Amino acid sequence: MRQVDVHKLSDEATFNGFHALVLFWCALIIIFDGYDLAVAGIALPSIMKEMGVDPQSAGFMVSSALFGMMFGAIFLGMIADKIGRRWAIAICILLFSVFTAAAGFTHDPVTFSVLRFFAGLGIGGVMPNVVAQMTEYSPRRIRTTLTTLMFSGYSVGGMLAALLGKGLIETYGWSSVFIAAGLPVLLVPFILKSIPESMPFLIKENRLDELKKIVTRMEPSYAAHAHDRFALPNEDRADNAPIRHLFHEGRGFSTVMFWIAFFMCLFMVYALSSWLTKLMASAGYSLGSALTFVLVLNFGAMIGAIGGGWLADRFHNKYVLIGMYLLAAVSITLLGYKVSTEVLFLVVGLAGASTIGTQIVTYAYAGQFYPMAVRSTGIGWASGVGRSGAILAPIVIGTLVGMALPLQQNFLAIAIPAVIATIAVSLINHSRAESAHHEDVSAELPDMPEPAMGALARK
């Protein structure tokens, strides 16, 4: 009988067509997800005009999807560790596609808000699952790069909504951009067929023939034997109580720090998304349409995510994130001062890179922090707690705007969470979790010299 460590095989695999296929599908799903989230903001002026709602009601209509995202991130992240990640991803796609398209046929604010809440369940739920999927099947040396590259599709979806939205709304009305969001449903059968299942889940379900096929594609040098026994570290074994693993083996305090970082970063993202245009207009800047803001912010986010991922694969995730959060504090603060339009666009791009882009790198860091079997649960809880920051941000900053404070103070209020997030990330004890993880897998494998163990995993 041969003991095979699938965790080690995944870590040491060479990037090939299998990894490219996982990256393609996960990125495509995130593009659809980003489109669905951004489409409401693009169409909001037209929706307000047609339904005759005031700004307060419109704010509730937008926030309904954010409430859905909070619950979706937690519960659909958890369910993936129980029913399998492929089906969890498929359920999320069905939710955000069908209910976003259905919202396009509504004519009253309440029905619209209810449908957007259910769409939000899918939008929020798919994020931790695709991050966990990409993290599990990425070689260690390029893991953060691949995860952030995949997640940059979120910004592509936002830009796609901005670019398509103007033409579709002018020609066919606001409903058209929502109905178009239903198209991803057609891809669900292909996604179920193409995306591999989570390895801990297959081991738990004793679906070893399926696992062997996946491992062979992931690492072609592996030759399957009939009596192979697949090993995982103790904390990577799927069980029926994944939540408790978030607080085991030295992860408890760091889990709370991740929650704080997610909360603060999503607060900044949604504060800027909701109030940047209004604040700049009140300061007397003429920056063109809101479309330009969406493009600049999301383009900066793509650069920040991919660049941050590239740096994180060469340096420690923690220190890269500390630098990015500090950049967010500086760039957002600078938005409160009078500068030329060109410099302002540069600062907006930097703010996008260090808020939306930083959030994507934080997702990647969380994905690498938690064991395979509870990865979706860990990311889901962090994302769900963070969504409360997204919900509060428009309300808190809106209240400050209503107080007619100086521009600098408004942006300082948005920048302060970056400082708090910097402190939280600096306190994450990743090395303690790594040592516990290593001890678990070493204890599970037969007693043999380290070189022999590595060679066995690669056979």
List the one residue out of 127, 126, 444, 79 whose CA is nearest residue 243: 79
**Residue 148 in tokens:** 């952030």
pLDDT tops 90 at residue 251: no
pLDDT tops 70 at residue 259: yes
Mean pLDDT on 211-227: 82
Query: What are the structural domain ranges in the chain?
Result: 2-197+241-436
Integer-rounded Cα radius of gyration of the chain: 22
Do 124 and 383 touch, CB atoms closer than 8 A? yes
- Tens-place pLDDT, residues 397-445: 777 877 877 878 888 999 999 999 999 999 988 765 543 444 344 333 3
Write down the pLDDT at residue 314.
84
Among 74-88, 188-202, 288-302, the minimum mean pLDDT is found in 288-302
Mean pLDDT on 347-367: 88
Between residues 186 and 392, the one the model is more confident about: 186
Mean pLDDT on 318-346: 89
pLDDT tops 80 at residue 296: yes
pLDDT tops 70 at residue 217: yes
pLDDT classification of 343: cutoffs 50, 70, 90: confident
List the one residue out of 433, 360, 334 whose CA is nearest residue 144: 360
Cβ–Cβ contacts within 10 Å for residue 190, how many? 10
Q: What are the angstrom distances between the C-alpha of 363 and each of 147, 158, 189, 381?
A: 9, 18, 27, 11
Mean pLDDT on 239-260: 76
pLDDT tops 90 at residue 233: no
- The C-alpha atoms of residue 221 and residue 264 are separated, in whole angstroms, by 44
Into which CATH architecture does domain 2-197+241-436 fall? Up-down Bundle (1.20)
pLDDT tops 50 at residue 274: yes
pLDDT tops 90 at residue 5: no
pLDDT tops 60 at residue 457: no
Report the chain's mean pLDDT, rounded to a whole number.
80
pLDDT tops 60 at residue 452: no
Mean pLDDT on 319-338: 92
The predicted model scores a pTM of 0.73
Mean pLDDT on 267-274: 82
- The C-alpha atoms of residue 34 and residue 31 are separated, in whole angstroms, by 5
Mean pLDDT on 24-34: 89
Write down the pLDDT at residue 446.
37
pLDDT classification of 56: cutoffs 50, 70, 90: low
Mean pLDDT on 320-349: 89
Angle at which helix 153-172 crosses helix 341-369, to 10 degrees, equals 120
List the one residue out of 415, 425, 364, 426 whose CA is nearest residue 393: 415
pLDDT classification of 210: cutoffs 50, 70, 90: confident
Between residues 148 and 195, the one the model is more confident about: 195
Between residues 334 and 275, the one the model is more confident about: 334
